[in-house]
Amino acid sequence: MLTGEYINKMDEKGRVMIPAKLRSALSSTHLVITKSFDNTKCISLFVAEDFEKTVNNAFMGTDGLQLFNPDVMRLARRFVATAQAIEFDGTGRILLPQAIRSYAGISAKEEVMVVGVTNHIEIWNKAEYDEYMNADIDYTKLASELSKGRNQ
């Protein structure tokens, strides 16, 4: 499981160091980078096999007909169409593609947050992440709502 928050900087070439703790928790160095699948301005980084499982579960369904749903297609265009295969360089860095870093509002030599979130890594503009995490949300209520279906 991927966990933890790490502050880093993107270099002038668009590369970000992924902390060793997160790299060692990954099952492969073959990665897929894409825009987030929700309305946040962050980058999602998956091991290629996990990305494929996520896409198959979310978009294909048991009969493969999910792609005829316009809402599913909208999400697929955002999450799948923007995905690119990447790998770590020799020092544990990844290159953030220009379109994806622009989407996330990340500029050269700017602080980023590298965050482990269960089965993927997120990369955020640090100011955007701080604002998101400091939003006035009742986490107790949210946790209670999410757990209702599991406790019955």
> Is residue 129 one of the residues assigned to a domain?
yes
* Structure-block tokens of residue 6: 């790490």
The tens digit of pLDDT for each residue in 93-136 reads: 999 999 999 999 999 999 999 999 999 999 999 999 999 999 88
pTM of the predicted structure, to 2 decimals: 0.87
> Is residue 138 one of the residues assigned to a domain?
yes
CATH code for position 89: 3.40.1550.20
Buried b (16+ CB within 10 A) or exposed e, 38-63: eeeebbbbbbbebbeebbeeebeeee
- Residue 70 neighbours by CB under 8 Å, 6+ apart: none
What residue numbers bound the domain in which 91 lies?
2-147
Residue with tokens 């870093």, as numbered in its chain: 101
Given a cut of 90, whether residue 56 has pLDDT beyond it is no
> Is residue 55 one of the residues assigned to a domain?
yes
Comparing CA positions, the residue from 32, 10, 5, 8 lying closest to residue 106 is 10
| Opening angle at CA 137, ends 21 and 131, nearest 5 | 60
> Is residue 42 one of the residues assigned to a domain?
yes
> Is residue 152 one of the residues assigned to a domain?
no
Domain count for the chain, please give it: 1
